[in-house]
Structure 1
Amino acid sequence: MRAIPQPGYQRLPRDEFNTLAVEQALSYLKLLRDQPVNHRVLEFLEK
């Protein structure tokens, strides 16, 4: 499945795009981890 370029979308080399996606995912997970409710869920998932 190919992403459809959005207006003002600049094409990134694949590696750079993947790194960006990973960084966004990590920051999102970190944000989730900082929520008190999700803390227990993540502890459960890490077991």
Structure 2
Amino acid sequence: MAIDRSAGTVSVLSVSPNDMHERYAEHMFAEARRILRDSIVRDGGTVFWY
């Protein structure tokens, strides 16, 4: 995933082969949008859930 702070966009760099219905990708997009909206974007890091 990549977040472009200046453009305010989120894009997928690669999709997991285990994400058959793109549910994980959609969850990732939602989290990325929240991070972008709340202005807590860092230069790097990891977000995970279980």
TM-score range, shorter chain: 0.3 to 0.5
User: Between Structure 1 and Structure 2, which shows a larger proportion of strand residues?
Assistant: 2
TM-score (norm 2): 0.40
Q: Which of structures 1 and 2 has the bigger CA Rg?
A: 1
User: Between Structure 1 and Structure 2, which shows a larger proportion of helix residues?
Assistant: 1
